[in-house]
Structure 1
């Protein structure tokens, strides 16, 4: 080996430095997600906390598609469900993703097609939840589409059906009972409005003067579904949508179902065409609930593809310890379907820009 002088070494070091400075750009180092912050979720007073006893406010997006693609024999996810697509969501500084589910696809009933239902559907959801968790994201699973009897679950219903909803939640709870980074959202947007809190809590129970008469089929109330989740051995946090398409939560405290784990939180959906849309209404109906239990705006959106409305919603929520999830991480026309993105790389619409920038600011 040839012997080098000190001057040779100094020249080599200088040459290497000049090459790197001219031709390479330093790449940012991405810290691994702090996974301990999403596990051990539980309710303590009016706070959602993790296993470290730290308060957690849910901030994120809805990932629509798994409620409708399968029942239409068109797949399971609407758009990609790979690591890159989840990383794009995580880059918006979120900590939670709500995943809507289809009752028939999970249970493999009512003509749901083999390729996209039953074991295939369940495994796909399990894999997606694991992927979300690996990126430090809490998964919220909700019963979104259902139907009674032999009717296919091709859309929203006013309430959970007594025929299948209990079996659905027993199965989902049994599947995820060992994953404390999963929250169970029992039913999307109940709207048996004329029947009020008794229908919401008890369903079609003869012991309570047969509520839910306006629904048209036998209803499983929230108390029944909470019991099914707990009976499956799952201690996970349970999220309850209010009624009036989840826009009204003012009456939930007097109608809460019994939960032996005391692990309940409340969700309201807030759109610019909802009934309760102003900060004064939030002060009157939402704030008193948020003083007693954790509250999230499980869906927020507006119909003009702008973000002036959700800006005011998020500002109020920030001041009142209320979480929020934008609807939705999909690439539809953001007027008829308030879409946050124009592609699955995470390019925001004008509506999505408001959510992304706000999350980055806090």
Structure 2
């Protein structure tokens, strides 16, 4: 069966799930999908899910990145919990981007392997959901600015996930706490080629290094895209650790270049990072930062488009 995938785009066959082609991510209806959403720190606020997800959906977000734990640092999110999260996100017409947070900033392969083993342990929740669940293997694994070691880790991790039967599109965060764009530019192709499905998206977290000003934001996006690799901005803020971040440039160039982004984070940051709260509580009103992300010139309200699975009645010819 064929679908119309939008003005100016070719018609394409239906796929079982999200897939990449060149620098673009496509959904299961063949429609180009550009993430416009935010992060939700679920694993630290497990009781707030049913308040937070509908409130996030109400902003017009087409995707939400969910913080999970494999149990090594925080209370584990088990398979039933993950199933419930996916169901709720789906019921609110958003794509679930799931990530394991326990390996953040770590360099050892054991931490990355623990994240991989977590996905394998809960694979019952994500297999068959390739059209609505994207897996971010490990948040900010490899804190050091060493692209070669980062690549070596992921070249082992990705085949292990595929051999376990996990077919979802996979997201790989850059080295250097997600901010070393050069790791992707230099080694991203080799990491992608480690995937027999060639279904990898790379993610930069734009804070005080990768997103410090408009020129840096633009250069970092172009550096990855020029390699023919798909890219999202998996996290970004407007300010971080005493330094400015050019959030307007992230959204502007993201729109111009078709790069998805997920702002950090819905609510619940520690007091010294409260400027990163998008909302005042799980279902609270938008903060100034939240208003920028949702209602800004290139914000969610103006640029978010739902995945094709939520628009099937209008996509079929």
Partner of residue 308, structure 2: none
Is residue 342 of structure 1 aligned with residue 293 of structure 2?
A: no
Q: Within 5 A, what are the aligned runs for 1:184-203?
A: 184-194=135-145, 196-202=146-152
**Which residue, out of 163, 176, 185, partners 1:231?**
163
| Deviation (angstroms), 1:79 | 4.9
Cα distance in 1, alignment partners of residues 108 and 300 from structure 2: 33
Cα distance in 2, alignment partners of residues 122 and 137 from structure 1: 20
**Which residue, out of 67, 86, 89, partners 1:100?**
67
Q: Say what the alpha-carbon RMSD is for the aligned residues.
A: 2.8
**Which residue, out of 114, 117, 123, partners 1:164?**
114
Cα distance in 2, alignment partners of residues 240 and 308 from structure 1: 22
Question: Relative contact order (alpha carbons < 8 A, sep ≥ 6): 1 or 2 greater?
Answer: 2
Q: Report how many aligned residue pairs link the two structures.
A: 277
Change in Cα spacing, 1:176 to 1:286, as seen in structure 2 (3 Å) is: same
TM-score normalised to structure 1 length: 0.69
| Deviation (angstroms), 1:39 | 7.2
Cα distance in 1, alignment partners of residues 229 and 165 from structure 2: 23
Which is richer in helix?
2
Is residue 41 of structure 1 aligned with residue 18 of structure 2?
A: yes
CA radius of gyration, larger in: 1
Cα distance in 2, alignment partners of residues 53 and 278 from structure 1: 34
Partner of residue 177, structure 1: 127
Cα distance in 2, alignment partners of residues 60 and 269 from structure 1: 14
User: Structure 1 regions of 5+ residues with no counterpart?
Assistant: 1-36, 70-76, 147-154, 203-220
**Which residue, out of 242, 248, 268, partners 1:311?**
248
Runs of 4+ in 1 over 4 A off after TM superposition: 332-335
Cα distance in 2, alignment partners of residues 266 and 91 from structure 1: 27
Partner of residue 213, structure 1: none
Is residue 59 of structure 1 aligned with residue 36 of structure 2?
A: yes
**Which residue, out of 280, 288, 298, partners 2:223?**
288
User: Structure 2 regions of 5+ residues with no counterpart?
Assistant: 1-13, 304-317
